[in-house]
A = this chain, B = another copy of it.
Amino acid sequence: MNAITLRLDSQAKEPLYEQIYQYIKSEITIGRYPYNTKLPSKRQLSAYLQCSQNTVQAAYDQLTAEGYIISKPKSGFYVCRLDGIISIKKESFVPQKQTDSKLKCKYDFSHQGVDLYSFPFPTWRRINKNVISEYDTDLLKTGDPQGDINLRYSIADYLHHSRGVNCSPDQIIISSGTEFLFLLLIQIFERDKIYAVENPGYEKLNLIFKSNGAEFRSIALDEYGMIPEELFKSNADIACVTPSHQFPTGVIMPINRRLQFLNWANEKAGRYIIEDDYDSEFKYSGRPIPCMQGIDGGEKVIYIGAFSKSLTPAVRISYMVLPEPLINIYKEKLSFYICPVPVMDQKVLCQFINEGHFERHLNRMRNIYKGKREALVTAIRSLLPFAQIFGANAGLHLILKVNNGMSEEELITSARKNGIRVYGISQYYFDNAPANRQPLLLLGFAALKLSEITEAVGLLKEAWG
């Protein structure tokens, strides 16, 4: 390989490992280190750069995590192909604190979680440091019940430009998690409304409604999402839908069906649509469809979003946009609830958005997830020819229909025996799943490494083939 021209700058904002990582990534990307180039050993490189081996290790781990290089046992690190899919052994990079049963499996296609190697920690750390200031007495006060006004401005801007949502900061309520937003909604509607939920759907919705004495009906889906006729037949007042990427089926609701629902809501006072846009940030193909809130002009749609998928679920920040009459009810009856998100966290997020880091992070993540999604689709097409893919045009999971004669339970169990965790759709049905239903599996890909995906699908092939 070529000479290393990097000079580490210990004064730079970026940590040393990051400088090494950036340098090598750049050399690989521009082709100066072609496929199969052997990188210097950690000892050689640390001696040459006069840094610790741990620093080099961290850089190599990061490069490995993103699939730029591969570690060959007893030989060293080699440059990967950048276009193709690679298959590597599990790294010991992830600190494993939890000892739950998930860790016993080799690869987990859970739909929860995000990419574990792309969170902008240095930026987040820097902004936190800025925000924790002895001169900011806001940090010693309760804060606005609807959430920090500046953060609400930033969210309104973001929603307007990226999702076509039409709202003022005054209509936004910031909370911690979608669940708490639903708790507020149930109180706004005073338990005298009937909710319609997608079936199959987000498993917590029925638990929340049940647990809080709110009536609900589960409505079947077809290939375009919730079936309007079924909704119309029910006596529901409020339809809870996930039109951008139905959970769990991955269906993107077409524009004319969205209009059907909006017309239904407009037919009668007191009818509303709750549009949960939980992973709308990631769309990979097809024309973008405006969110229902934007089509409607904001009169009949309660729009819900969160930073769980776009940043990390550990930052518990979600929000909803309420139509004018509902925000008035909230202010009159419910503004005694203190905003559950710590003031400091709201300020950090606000600065993160305003300095442009959120936009960059989203675009970067979209590329990363697009790569993972393509790797998964490619591997499935070549290794599991008896399986069909659905719902892969958006979001962080897809649906697999496996036509090999096995039941959903058998598919899950045999995958599990081969070290892979996959999830059946059955658990997302509120009543029993239809008896003659084809087995469907939910495969999340956000938290898997790009380099693991082909091997994981290979293990599924062994299990099901």
Could you list which residues of chain A lie within 8 angstroms of chain B, going by C-beta atoms? 22, 25-26, 29-31, 42, 54, 57-58, 61-62, 64-68, 71, 73-74, 83-91, 93-98, 112-116, 119, 121, 124-125, 128-129, 132-144, 149-150, 153, 156-158, 160-162, 175-177, 179-180, 183, 187, 191, 203-204, 207, 211-213, 281-285, 287-288, 308, 312-317, 333-334, 336-345, 353-354, 356, 358-360, 362-364, 366-367, 370
Q: Is the CB of B342 within 8 A of A314?
A: yes
Q: Can you offer 16 A-B residue contacts whose CB atoms are under 8 A? A: A29-B71, A62-B360, A65-B367, A67-B367, A84-B284, A87-B162, A88-B353, A91-B157, A95-B135, A95-B136, A113-B141, A128-B128, A139-B312, A175-B340, A316-B339, A316-B342
B residues near A211, Cβ cutoff 8 Å:
187, 333-334
CB proximity of A439 to chain B, nearest CB, Å:
25
- Cβ of B121 and Cβ of A132 under 8 Å apart? yes
Contact of A91 with B367 in the complex, beta carbons under 8 Å: no
Kindly list chain B residues whose C-beta atoms are within 8 Å of the C-beta of A65. Answer: 363-364, 367
Known: A95-B137, A283-B84. A125 touches B132 (CB 8 A): yes
Q: Which of B68, B98, B312 contacts A149 (CB 8 A)?
A: B98
Q: Which of B113, B132, B150, B341 contacts A128 (CB 8 A)?
A: B132
Q: Which residues of B contact A153 (CB under 8 A)?
A: 91, 93, 95
Report yes or no: A354 in contact with B97, Cβ–Cβ below 8 A: no
Contact A124 B132 (CB under 8 A): yes
Asked if B363 and A86 make an inter-chain contact with CB atoms under 8 angstroms apart, the answer reads: yes
Copy total for this chain: 2
Is A312 touching B140 in the complex (CB atoms < 8 A)? yes
Q: Which residues of B contact A316 (CB under 8 A)?
A: 338-342
Chain B residues in 8 Å Cβ range of A138: 97, 314
Report A343 CB to chain B, min CB distance, Å: 4
Kindly list chain B residues whose C-beta atoms are within 8 Å of the C-beta of A149. Answer: 96, 98
Tell me, in angstroms, the Cα distance from A359 to B87 when the chains sit together: 6
A342→B176 CA distance, assembly (Å): 8
User: Bound state CA distance, A80 and B369, in angstroms?
Assistant: 16
Give the chain B neighbours of A68 by CB distance below 8 A.
363
Say yes or no: A176-B341 contact (C-beta < 8 A), given A119-B134, A162-B87, A314-B143: yes
Q: Which chain B positions have C-beta within 8 A of A90?
A: 157, 354
Least Cβ–Cβ distance between A284 and chain B, in angstroms: 7
A189 to B74 Cα, complex, angstroms? 60
With beta carbons under 8 angstroms apart, the residue of B29, B88, B203, B207 that contacts A64 is B29
- With CB as the reference atom, state the residue of chain B lying closest to A132: B125
Q: Are B191 and A112 in contact (CB under 8 A)?
A: no
CB distance from A192 to the nearest CB of B (A): 10
* 5 nearest A-B pairs in the assembled complex, by CB-CB distance: A66-B363, A176-B340, A314-B343, A121-B134, A125-B132
Are B91's CB and A359's CB within 8 A?
no
Chain B residues within an 8 Å CB radius of A141? 112-113, 312-314
Known A66-B363, A88-B359; contact A112-B314, beta-carbon cutoff 8 A: no
- Beyond contacts A142-B313, A213-B213: 18 other A-B pairs, Cβ-Cβ < 8 A, are A22-B58, A31-B74, A66-B367, A86-B161, A86-B162, A87-B359, A91-B153, A91-B160, A95-B153, A115-B140, A124-B132, A140-B314, A175-B340, A176-B176, A177-B338, A211-B334, A313-B338, A316-B342
